[in-house]
Amino acid sequence: MAAVKETVETVREAEKYKYGFFTDIESEKAPLGLTEDTVRFISAKKNEPAWLLEWRLDAFRRWLTLSEPTWAKVTYPPIDFQDAYYYSAPKQSAKLESLDEVDPKLLETYEKLGIPLTEQKMLAGVAVDAVFDSVSVVTTFKEKLAEAGVIFCPMSEAVKNHPELVKKYLGSVVPTSDNFYATLNSAVFSEGSFVYIPEGVRCPMELSTYFRINEAQTGQFERTLIIADKGSYVSYLEGCTAPQRDENQLHAAVVELVALEDAEIKYSTVQNWFPGDEDGKGGVYNFVTKRGDCRGKNSKISWTQVETGSAITWKYPSCILRGDNSRGEFYSIAISNGHQQVDSGTKMIHLGRNTSSRIISKGISAGQSSNTYRGLVSVHRKAENVRNFTQCDSLLIGDRCSAHTVPYIETKNPTAVLEHEATTSKISEDQLFYCMQRGIGEEEAVALIVNGFCRDVLQQLPMEFAVEAQKLVGISLEGSVG
Amino acid sequence: MSEKATQKLVETYRGAQSALPGAGGWLARRRETAIDAFTQTGLPHRRLEEWKYTDLRQVLEKAILVPAPAHDGALVLPELHSATAFSAIDRYVLVFVNGVYQPGLSQLAHLSKGAELCALAEVLHEQWAKDIVERRFDDARQAEDIVDLNTALMSDGACLRIRKGVKLDKPLHLFFLGADAGASHTRNLILLENEAEATIFETHMGEVASFADIVTDVALGEGAKLNHVKLQDESSEAIHLSTMRTRLAASSKLSSFTLTLGCGVSRGQNFVLFSGEGAEANVDGAYALKGKQHLDQFCVIDHAVPGCTSHTLFKGVLDGASEGVFQGKVVVRPQAQKTDGRQMTHALLLSRDAAMNAKPELEIYADDVQCAHGSTVGELSKDAIFYLRSRGIPEAEARRLLVLAFLDETLELAPHEDARDALKLLVSDWFSEAGL
């Protein structure tokens, strides 16, 4: 009887986090724990050149000297970095020529996730690089992209086929010494996407990566590197999910963007890692370093993120505005429910003349969650005529959640014009009453109002994502009312 | 505790211990625990989040940390308008030179009935003084740790108690003058019982390399009202560290205003704790800095109970290679519904080398609240200057007008009318002198 009850409960749980399934695929793992041998093992598995192994080992040795950052407004039990697998790959026949050869179970998983690789090819015109645990499974639409000269492939392939580009740009935005998690990532990163848009090319389609942590006790450490050469444009989408597990899974990714003269990169994320169950058990620790470098004149980098998952989010997608007239944007929706803890925001480092940045952050906390916006706007002495506008609004749903705003504003140049404003409020009773007396249920009304609250950011998302994100906003808040 | 300045301060304490007020009593024991805690934490430094922009450890490295000697000979007031700013106002005056009370210079004739004013040493036997000294607002607050240094070394200060329902008839003016180089540790204790009212002015001046460490502890009873105006115009060698902690009972009101026109390195801390519903706190200020002056305003408003209102506005202009810092925090505790908390900071940079760092924080654990903060930094609007010039106003005058208008918004908030006018005059003088 107890077993039946358990099953019923499991099913009910699964409905809440619909990506919480686990695919039973045999996989190959690195030995448990993290030592120099683990790093060598990963590097060997990927047949990496000597310089990259050396780079990794250098990072690993540095990592040993670092301690975990504690300044963020999140609390969690200490992480045992030796009790995790740093590499896990689905076992399958050696080489893949086309989609048909991919393990059907894997494809099924992706279908469940809503990314039918085969069909999507036709319909959406979105090229997808899907990363399963640590290994990139398949990159669709390769040929069409190759025609335009765009390189879009898994990182390991880029290391083999375009070593000069990787060597030139890897670690140039987020150096191996950057911070605890970035250094860890540099040592053990196993997969990720590599994008290079050649001079003057407007990437013909949206590029997309889907990340999934499948194996138990594995950490995912992907490394994404996007280079937009002079005058090019690319829009990149990223989605993430993980199965539901009792223990916490670690995700420590690094994303590096480089925009050269007149180039533009638009980076959108819908992050929906497993947030943990109702009692705050399990869930993904999302400790991610994302940074874009507007290296050339008139370049532009735009971050858009919808954060709904993860037990803990520690993430600050940033822009280094080095080139004159460059522009950085950050649009974010961070929704926390249950026992989630979010400490997220951005950094806009103005180094060049006439650089501008815009930050729109919407934080929504429900349940017993904690939601912090932490952002830095810094203007260096030589940066003339800098313009920044920051707006962070927080919405509180229920009286056990919390919302915090921690903006840092540092100016060393008088010509800078910086504005920051923030508000915190709850959903107005009047709005709720208005919706409800029109026959809209309470939960639906809340979702509607929240969607309105987030509108500025949702508008920035590419079409396909915007629809998904809107639904996600509704789902994430389920159970937060009443 | 390895670095020199901390060690020197601890040695100073060991040397002065037996001569400090309250030896042999509860305070002596309290001083011991305070110095132990201070030895543990040491002087705050840049790696502490709440001291990120002001490295006190570094600032005090070369400072004179032994107590300033008792002043010998005639006293000369600095030739600054600030020295006489409040002279026209009918008030009680309490003068401290090098941190020591000077009865000969003070004017205290007949305080109104129900008001008691005395030096720190004379009040130590009273329970209220003990209560006020021993409490701490927030154990987790790094910025409050530095109060331990003051607790260990405090040697003098003004202690004011206003009895229930009594209104102090005239403002009380605390005048602090640094006449000789050296350190002073001052502790002021202020208790306003239920429905009591008082206005306090504070002036800090000095033309020497002094290190002034001042803690003012305030407790407001139900319905009590305290108006506080602080004027700081010190030399560019002076190091100023002040902490004001105010606890507000139900329906009480604090209006505090600080004008800083001169300092070397200054850190002004304001802690406000609401302990009763319906209370109100206004913590505002203005500053005008030049040269290499450094001013750090740190302000924590803790809404621990429902239904309180807080308002913070700091505006400043920065010229030369001066640096301004504003760090503010509004905390709304889980039960503090119906809170109204506002916090604004604006700065004008007048020169290429000036810098401003702002960090206005909100930390909110309750949902039915109205909280907002805002921050802007920029230079004078070229359009506005052009507009005025096109009306025949010379550029220098136009800039002056615009800057004064910018500061006027916050000067208006100074809680005493005559004092407000005096401060406005000072600000206007500052511009003539700065030649802007």
Which of B355, B359, B379 has the CB atom closest to A407's CB atom?
A: B359
Size of interface A-B (CB pairs under 8 A): 113
Put simply, the answer to whether A420 touches B374 (Cβ < 8 Å) is yes
Asked if residue B12 belongs to a domain, the reply is no
Tens of pLDDT, residue by residue, chain B (436 residues):
458 899 999 999 999 888 899 888 899 999 999 999 999 999 999 989 899 999 999 999 988 998 888 887 778 788 888 888 999 999 999 999 999 998 888 887 778 889 999 889 889 889 999 999 988 998 888 899 999 999 999 999 999 999 999 999 999 999 999 999 999 999 999 999 999 999 999 999 988 889 999 999 999 999 999 999 999 999 999 999 999 999 999 999 999 999 999 899 999 999 999 999 999 999 999 999 999 999 999 999 999 999 999 999 999 999 999 999 999 999 999 999 999 999 999 999 999 999 999 999 999 998 888 888 888 998 998 999 999 999 999 998 999 999 999 999 999 999 999 999 999 999 998 887 765 5
Q: Which residues of A touch B378 (CB under 8 A)?
A: 414, 416-418
Q: Which residues of A touch B350 (CB under 8 A)?
A: 414
Distance CA(B83)–CA(B67), nearest Å, equals 23
Of the residues A405, A429, A430, the best mutation for testing chain B's interface (the one with the most B CB atoms within 10 Å of its CB) is A405
Q: Which residues of B touch A75 (CB under 8 A)?
A: none
Q: Which residues of B touch A421 (CB under 8 A)?
A: 372-375
Sign of CA dihedral A49, A52, A56, A58: positive
- Beta strands in A176-307, from DSSP E residues, in sequence order: 193-197, 206-212, 223-228, 233-241, 248-251, 254-259, 264-271, 283-294, 300-307
Q: B270-306 in b/e burial notation, b at 16+ Cβ within 10 A?
A: bbbbbbbebbbbbbbbbbbbbeebbbbbbbbbbbbbb
Q: Which residues of B touch A396 (CB under 8 A)?
A: 364, 366-367, 369
Q: Please report the pLDDT score of residue A14 as a whole number.
A: 42
Asked if residue B330 belongs to a domain, the reply is yes
> Predicted ipTM?
0.82
Put simply, the answer to whether A409 touches B358 (Cβ < 8 Å) is yes
Asked if residue B61 belongs to a domain, the reply is yes
Residues of chain A with a CB closer than 8 angstroms to some CB in chain B: 71, 381, 394, 396-426
Q: Which residues of A touch B365 (CB under 8 A)?
A: 401-402
Cβ contact B176:B208 at 8 Å: no
Amino acid letter for position A450:
V
How many domains would you assign to chain B? 1
Put simply, the answer to whether A417 touches B378 (Cβ < 8 Å) is yes
Q: Which residues of B touch A398 (CB under 8 A)?
A: 367
Q: Which residues of B touch A420 (CB under 8 A)?
A: 358, 360, 373-376
Put simply, the answer to whether B357 touches A409 (Cβ < 8 Å) is yes
Cβ contact B75:B286 at 8 Å: no
Tens of pLDDT, residue by residue, chain A (482 residues):
344 444 444 444 444 565 656 666 566 677 777 888 888 888 888 888 999 999 999 999 999 998 888 888 888 888 888 887 787 766 544 444 455 555 666 566 656 555 555 444 444 445 566 666 555 555 666 777 888 888 888 888 899 999 999 999 999 999 988 899 999 999 988 878 899 999 999 988 888 777 666 565 666 788 999 999 999 999 988 876 655 666 677 888 899 999 999 999 999 888 877 777 777 777 888 899 999 999 999 999 999 988 887 888 899 999 999 999 999 999 998 988 888 899 999 999 999 999 999 999 999 888 889 999 999 999 999 999 999 999 988 988 888 889 999 999 999 999 999 988 888 888 888 888 999 999 998 888 888 888 888 888 888 877 767 777 777 777 777 766 54
Which of A406, A407, A416 has the CB atom closest to B378's CB atom?
A: A416
Distance CA(A144)–CA(A127), nearest Å, equals 9
Distance in Å, alpha carbon of A373 to nearest chain B alpha carbon = 10
Distance in Å, alpha carbon of A400 to nearest chain B alpha carbon = 7
Cβ contact B190:B221 at 8 Å: no
**Residue of chain B minimizing CA distance to A383:** B352
Put simply, the answer to whether B362 touches A424 (Cβ < 8 Å) is yes
Which of B350, B361, B362 has the CB atom closest to A414's CB atom?
A: B350
Put simply, the answer to whether A419 touches B376 (Cβ < 8 Å) is yes
Q: Of A410, A429, A413, A419, which is closest to residue A359 (Cα–Cα)?
A: A419
Distance in Å, alpha carbon of A73 to nearest chain B alpha carbon = 10
On the 0-12 / 13-18 / 19+ scale of CB atoms within 10 A, A41 is: middle
Structure token digits, residue A457: 């950011």
Put simply, the answer to whether A416 touches B358 (Cβ < 8 Å) is no
Distance CA(A72)–CA(B320), nearest Å, equals 35
Q: Which residues 6+ apart lie within 8 Å of B260 measured at CB? A: B232, B233, B266, B268, B285, B286, B287, B288, B289, B295, B316
B348 lies in which domain range?
A: 45-379
